[in-house]
Amino acid sequence: MSSQDNNDSAIAASNENTDALLKQRLATYQEHLADLPEQTHPRDRALLELNLAETLVGLQRGEEGWTVARAAFDVFMQYHSWQDAVEALVVLYQADQPASIIALGQAAWLAVSFPISPETSFAVMTHLIDEMPPTADGAAVAAIVGQYVVDLRASDEEHESLSFLTRNVLVKVAELHSGVKSQKELDIWRLKLELNEPEKFLPRMALVIGAIVEDNWWFDRDKLRELMD
């Protein structure tokens, strides 16, 4: 047997093991949901449902996962559980359904607007970058916003590792966008695209999100802005 055949066999075995673990996890979550007392707080139930949805998506059952995660998202928004809401939107994006990109756009809006964890916010921005052409200015804006949020919210312990990741993503985006190869070129590129001032790149992020979501918002942004005041 060739080395390639050995590799293929190893990958197939790994995938089978992963599927078996996910199926076992799915059964466990379903049992837990069935056993929940009637008086369980809706957010606690929704957290378990989100775990179920994520597992369904992992099993390539995206449509089922979407239905469960979408309902959980509404509960999280009702109880102003912003972190959980963004995590639900990420699962909806990963479900690979017709409105998944809309879910990602709304995740980006919440991640910028509310104090979502820097890891989650950065993950949302990297998903946005993946969805854009490499030469699009929107990818550059998403990369710099990811870096900005990490700088703003990360603890001292988190910052070193996360800032390393955000810089790597920014450098990669700059290279794909404009062939940037050096620190000097990166500095010029950032200046040219106005990526050094939040008052300039944050409104551009809003435009990127608006182009993705259009009129398909699942929440009232004006009411949420009132909560920020």
DSSP per-residue codes, the chain: --HHHHHHHHHHHHHHHHHHHHHHHHHHHHHHHHH--TT--HHHHHHHHHHHHHHHHHTT-HHHHHHHHHHHHHHHHHTT-HHHHHHHHHHHHHTT-TTHHHHHHHHHHHHHHS---HHHHHHHHHHHHHHS-TT-HHHHHHHHHHHHHHHHH--HHHHHHHHHHHHHHHHHHHHHHH---SHHHHHHHHHHTT-S-HHHHHHHHHHHHHHHHTT--SS-HHHHHHHH-
pTM of the complete model: 0.91
What does the pLDDT read at residue 11? 52
What does the pLDDT read at residue 16? 76
Residue 12 has pLDDT above 60, yes or no: no
User: Averaged over 52-56, what is the pLDDT?
Assistant: 97
State the pLDDT confidence band at 2, using cuts at 50, 70 and 90: low
What does the pLDDT read at residue 18? 87
Residue 178 has pLDDT above 80, yes or no: yes
What does the pLDDT read at residue 177? 97
What does the pLDDT read at residue 56? 97
